[in-house]
């Protein structure tokens, strides 16, 4: 496996640590960090800053019953949330979104397939399967798009993206990603919702539909 | 190297006692130190005092239950608790499960590397000092970012903190863990 060349921008790692990224982008970042030691280190450095801010926050007295209430619950049985392990090319965070199932591919034509994992008012997460030599289906960006390569590679005007690489595209980028020769390219694409409404609703109305 | 343990910060000693011995006195000490700070922090990030106490309770129980995933070679106690607090707050406020990176677990029985742990504590102390030395308005922006009040677009325009040295410390902790995980799997 070749080394990762395209990383999560630092401001996105900070926002991920602080929890302000929309869910779709958080899935992409958590998946990239699962594959990339460099970004894991950077994320943990941001968590250290968060910890410093927490430690220096002025204390606010807690109510007198809180400690006893917590201590009384230490022995309560609890069910840990299920942990989804990596499965083949799919990192844990993607397995979690899929609830452990395999991708359910739907044909889009020209051998391209997709599986929409989540789609709501805040954004969408999908898997794309692109045979070598094929272009990613025609799309424009009216918001932000994060693409994480899981298998194979694709190239566009900005460079080549292999396994683990993440591409960030916004309205300023016009690109035609094409899957490279070799294995079919499988990637995770996360977008915020504005991209979905691009063709349907005049731009002015879009903020109304965001929430 | 266990004689060096007394050099660790109080918080690290408490957390290790909770993780390795399920020590309730140490847990109470962690509560006394962190719960009021957590409450202040959560109120600053937009919760009501009542909701903040619910989240504090949730965070403290998570600390007890997930103690096994605390690795002092890579994270300060405050950094580890910060992430739990942000996650719980978001899970509760947005009613969604925040996606988390795959966990790299410290295997039980691995000798702690005291110099790595102390080195990381030192770096974290210097980071805290750097934060304290910032101009008030600059510091406020950083605090807002980590309290979850800024989007990533707003964060990208802020002046960065010097994170280089703490990154290299965390990287050492990660390499140590990866090395051991590899040895264990062979
Ligand atoms: Zn990376
Ligand atoms: Zn695109």
Its pTM stands at: 0.91
Nearest residue to B85 (alpha-carbon basis) of A18, A85, A145: A18
| pLDDT number for residue A80 | 87
The dihedral region occupied by A110, where left means phi > 0, alpha psi between -120 and 50, and beta the remainder, is left
- CA–CA distance from B98 to each of A21, A158, B20 (Å)? 10, 31, 27
Structure confidence by residue, pLDDT tens digits, A15-49 = 999 999 999 999 999 999 999 999 999 999 999 99
Contacts of B70 in chain A (CB under 8 A): none
CATH number given to A1-80+91-210: 2.60.120.10
Contacts of B98 in chain A (CB under 8 A): 19, 23, 26
| Closest ligand by atom to A187 CA | 2
- Per the model's pLDDT, the better-predicted residue between B35 and A110 turns out to be B35
Contacts of B77 in chain A (CB under 8 A): 51
Ligand 2 centroid to A146 CA: how many Å? Answer: 8
ipTM: 0.93
Structure tokens at A145: 């798009």
Sign of torsion, CA B124 A52 B98 B51?
Answer: positive
Q: Structural domain boundaries of chain A?
A: 1-80+91-210
| pLDDT number for residue B50 | 94
Over residues A50-60, mean pLDDT: 96
Which ranges of chain B does DSSP label H, i.e. alpha helix?
A: 10-21, 24-44, 49-65, 77-94, 114-133, 136-146, 152-156, 164-185
Structure tokens at B83: 């992430």
Domains and CATH numbers, chain B: 8-108 (1.10.1740.10)
Which ranges of A36-99 does DSSP label H, i.e. alpha helix?
A: 37-55, 66-73, 92-97
pLDDT (tens place) for every residue of chain B, 186 residues total: 444 577 999 999 999 999 999 999 999 999 999 999 999 999 999 999 999 999 999 999 999 999 999 999 999 999 999 999 999 998 888 777 889 999 987 666 678 899 999 999 999 999 999 999 999 998 999 999 999 999 888 888 765 677 889 999 999 999 988 776 666 554
Identify whether the C-beta of residue A187 lies closer than 8 Å to the C-beta of residue A147. Answer: yes
Check CB contact under 8 Å for B79 and A31: no
Task: Classify each residue of A145-175 as buried b or exposed e, where b means 16 or more C-beta atoms within 10 Å of its C-beta.
Answer: bbbbbbbbbbbbeeeebbbbbbbbbeeeeeb
- Per the model's pLDDT, the better-predicted residue between A21 and A141 turns out to be A21
Distance from CA of B7 to the nearest CA of A (A): 20
| Closest ligand by atom to A156 CA | 2
pLDDT > 90: percent of chain A: 73
Check CB contact under 8 Å for B145 and A59: no
Over residues A72-94, mean pLDDT: 94
């Amino acid at each position: 496996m070749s080394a990762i060349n395209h990383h999560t921008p630092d401001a996105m790692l900070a926002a991920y640590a602080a929890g302000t990224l929309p869910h779709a982008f958080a899935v992409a970042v958590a998946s990239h960090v699962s594959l990339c030691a460099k970004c894991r280190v950077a994320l943990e450095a941001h968590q250290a800053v968060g910890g410093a801010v927490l430690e220096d926050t002025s204390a606010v007295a807690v109510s007198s019953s809180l400690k006893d209430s917590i201590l009384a619950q230490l022995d309560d049985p609890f069910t840990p949330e299920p942990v989804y392990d990596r499965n083949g090319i799919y990192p844990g965070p993607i397995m979690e979104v899929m609830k452990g199932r395999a991708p359910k591919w739907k044909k889009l034509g020209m051998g391209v397939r997709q599986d929409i994992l989540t789609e709501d008012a805040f954004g969408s997460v999908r898997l794309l399967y692109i045979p070598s030599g094929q272009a990613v289906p025609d799309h424009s960006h009216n918001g932000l798009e994060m693409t994480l390569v899981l298998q194979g590679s694709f190239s566009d005007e900005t460079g080549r993206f292999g396994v683990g690489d993440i591409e960030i595209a916004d309205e300023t980028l016009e690109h035609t990603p094409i899957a490279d020769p070799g294995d079919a390219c499988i990637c995770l694409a996360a977008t915020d919702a504005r991209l979905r409404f691009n063709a349907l609703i005049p731009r002015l109305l879009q903020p109304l539909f965001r929430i | 190297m266990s004689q060096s343990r007394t050099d660790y910060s109080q918080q690290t000693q408490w957390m290790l006692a909770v993780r390795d011995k399920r020590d309730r006195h140490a847990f109470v000490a962690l509560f006394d130190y962190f719960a009021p700070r957590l409450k202040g922090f959560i109120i600053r990030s937009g919760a009501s005092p009542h909701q903040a106490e619910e989240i504090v309770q949730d965070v403290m129980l998570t600390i007890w239950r997930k103690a096994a995933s605390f690795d002092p070679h890579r994270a300060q106690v405050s950094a580890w608790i910060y992430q739990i607090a942000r996650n719980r707050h978001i899970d509760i406020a947005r009613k969604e499960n925040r996606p988390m990176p795959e966990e790299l677990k410290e295997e039980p029985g691995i000798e702690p590397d005291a110099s790595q742990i102390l080195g990381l504590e030192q770096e974290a102390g210097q980071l805290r000092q750097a934060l304290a030395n910032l101009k008030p308005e600059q510091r406020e922006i950083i605090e807002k970012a980590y309290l979850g009040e800024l989007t990533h677009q707003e964060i990208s325009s802020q002046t960065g903190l010097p994170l280089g040295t703490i990154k290299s410390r965390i990287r050492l902790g990660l390499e140590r863990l990866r090395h051991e995980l590899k040895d264990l799997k062979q």
